[in-house]
Amino acid sequence: MPIEGVQMIYFDNSATTKPYPEVLDTFVKTSVNYYANPSSLHSLGAQAEKLVTQARQQIANILGVNQNEIVFTSGGTEGNNLAIKGTALEYRARGRHIITTAVEHASVFETCRQLEKLGFRITYLPVDSRGRIRIDDLKAAITDETILVSVMHVNNEVGAVQPVEEIGRLLKNYPKILFHVDHVQGCGKVPLSLHEAGIDLCTISAHKFHGLKGTGVLYKRANIRISPLLTGGHQESQLRSGTENTGGIVAAAKALRLIHEKFENGAAEKTSQIRDYLIEKLAAIPGVTVHTDPEVSAPHIINFSAGGIRGEVLVHALEQQGIFISTTSACSSKTRELSRTLLAMGVSKAEAEGAARISLSYENTMEEAENFIRILQQTIQNLQQVLGRNQ
């Protein structure tokens, strides 16, 4: 537990965010008053269905798409699986080649690994030292058998923003190839026009923008088909069977509206200032290496290594001071494997072993950043002294 008298600093927002009070209030009111099954024929079911429809329209308006292009899911992992496996199953007669990157989230990377066992060929594009793919590499990888390109918008570990718009322009020359974007870490932080970028499938998750866990959205362009993963009902245009999570869906629409209002009011610029301050101060600490390049990164993620100190040791030491950060992605943090992203960027195994991630939200302040740097410097000094005595 944090030591007495120390205010908690939560810098692990890429793992999950704290739900906004208004979002929780919306969820509770919806769950109490509109608890009927939206698929039921009676009036209570119709009321719940109306709320789901309204939430679908609100989300579509914010994303700049049509209402019938919104599919509700349980979150980013299901959305990515549905987009990739759904495309693979639906278009496998057209081709069995999929292109992705070496730095994707586990829900994309492991899905592609699974498809390899089913006879699909996957190309994992390399990245440069800043974590970005090269358009020429993508172009060279395309074959007559390619049916899907899946590239994340914002990397969840180092914050690198992939050239999604450039990829979309390239793929306009290949109308038979679908384009999927994992927008989970970018939603509400880095602008992305789904139409202008030529995106066919796009994944977001509510708990990454102060909504609730267990609710997500898959955008599916209207004139394409994908095969469902969950069958047994007619929900979500027969693409995702299962009783709709009415409260979570309505709360997700509320959270998305609130995060976009904050973005439009300049919250991202403020967060970028905090990120830039943290990067400057981190780089000045002896033995610390920063792996995030602010010129090509989202405003809320910083990855760094403290020389000679394992990432998990630093995470737990800071926790004792009331500071919460992470090592790699939360989905992979307990596997104790080195970061695929950092290794793909050319980071040494020793530095990858010591990597830690700071991830901000619009609620974080410069005062928290200043306190974090002060406590981090002292913590690193203390750990280095302990390590020195034990060598």
Give helix 246-264 / helix 43-63 axis angle, nearest 10°: 30
Can you tell me the distance from the alpha carbon of 146 to that of 174, in angstroms, rounded to the nearest whole number?
9
State yes or no: is 112 an active-site residue.
no
| Separation in Å, CA 113 to CA 81, 86, 118, 252, 344 | 12, 15, 9, 30, 17
CA angle, 88 then 90 then 92, to 5°: 55
What phi and psi values does residue 355 have, to the nearest 5 degrees? -75, 145
- Dihedral, CA atoms, 268, 269, 272, 277, nearest 10 degrees? -140
Residue type at position 170: L
Are the C-beta atoms of 166 and 177 separated by less than 8 Å? no
Report the run of H or E that residue 303 belongs to, with start and end.
strand 301-306
- Residue 386 is encoded by which pair of tokens? 């302990």
112, 187, 202, 331: which one is catalytic?
331
User: Which residue in 155, 147, 98 sits closest to 124, CA to CA?
Assistant: 98
Report the run of H or E that residue 216 belongs to, with start and end.
strand 216-220
- Residue 376 is encoded by which pair of tokens? 């981090």
Residue 265 burial (C-beta neighbours within 10 Å; 0-12, 13-18, 19+) = exposed
Q: Where are the alpha helices (DSSP H) in 37-105?
A: 43-63, 76-91
Residue type at position 61: N
Q: Work out whether the CA dihedral 174, 180, 185, 186 comes out positive or negative.
A: positive
Q: Where are the alpha helices (DSSP H) in 265-289?
A: 267-283
What phi and psi values does residue 372 have, to the nearest 5 degrees? -60, -50
Helix (H, G, I), strand (E, B) or coil at 148: strand
Catalytic residues: 331
